Structure 1
Amino acid sequence: MSIELIRKPKQSVDPLKVLETAASGLEFEIERAGTHELHVLMPGVWRDIGLWFTWRPELATLQMGAPLELKAPVGRVDEAARLVTMVNERLWLGHFDLWADDKSIVYRNSALLTPEGNLDSMQGEALIKGASEAVDRFYPAFNFLIWGGKNPDDALQASLFETAGNA
Structure 2
Amino acid sequence: MTLEDFEGPETDPAAPIDMLESYFAAHGWSHDRSGDDEIVAHVKGSWTEYELRGVWRDEDQVLQFLALPDIKVTEDKRAAIYEAIGLVNEQLWLGHFELWSTSGILLFRHAALIEGDEPTMSLAQTETLIESAIDECERYYPVFQFVLWGGKTPREAIAAALIETQGEA
Shorter-chain TM-score bucket reads: 0.7 to 0.9
Partner residue, 1:124: 126
Q: Which of 127, 130, 137 is equivalent to 1:135?
A: 137
Correspondences of 1:24-35 after superposition (within 5 Å)? 24-35=25-36
Aligned residues: 156
Shift of 1:23: 2.2
Structure 1 partner of 2:166: 164
Amino acid corresponding to residue 164 of structure 1 in structure 2: Q
Give the partner amino acid of 1:50: E
Equivalent position of 1:63 in the other structure = 64
**CA distance in 2 between partners of 1:77 and 1:22 (Å):** 34
Name the Cα RMSD after superposition: 1.6
- Deviation, 1:32, is 1.3
Structure 2 residue identity aligned to 1:140: P
CA distance in 1 between partners of 2:50 and 2:64 (Å)? 16
What secondary structure, in the 3-state scheme, does the structure 2 residue paired with 1:91 have? coil
Q: Deviations over 1:86-133 (max 9, x none)?
A: 011111211000112122211101100013221111101111101110
- Aligned partners of 1:120 and 1:142: how far apart in 2? 33
For residue 6 of structure 2, what is the aligned residue in structure 1? Answer: none
TM-score normalised by structure 2 residue count: 0.85
Residues 163/26 of structure 1: CA separation in 2 closer, same or farther (3 Å cut): farther
TM-score normalised over the length of structure 1: 0.86
Alignment-derived partner of residue 144 in structure 1: 146
Tell me how far apart the structure 1 counterparts of residues 126 and 160 of structure 2 sit (CA, whole Å): 31
Q: Secondary structure at the match of 1:92?
A: coil
Structure 1: which 5+ residue stretches go unaligned?
A: 1-12
1:78 Cα deviation after fit: 1.5
Q: Distance in 2 between matches of 1:165 and 1:33?
A: 46
CA contact (8 A) 1:30 1:40 kept: yes
SS in 1 for 2:35: coil
Q: Distance in 1 between matches of 2:57 and 2:75?
A: 33
Which residues of structure 2 form unaligned runs of 5+? Answer: 1-13
Output the CA distance in 2 between the equivalents of 1:74 and 1:104. Answer: 11
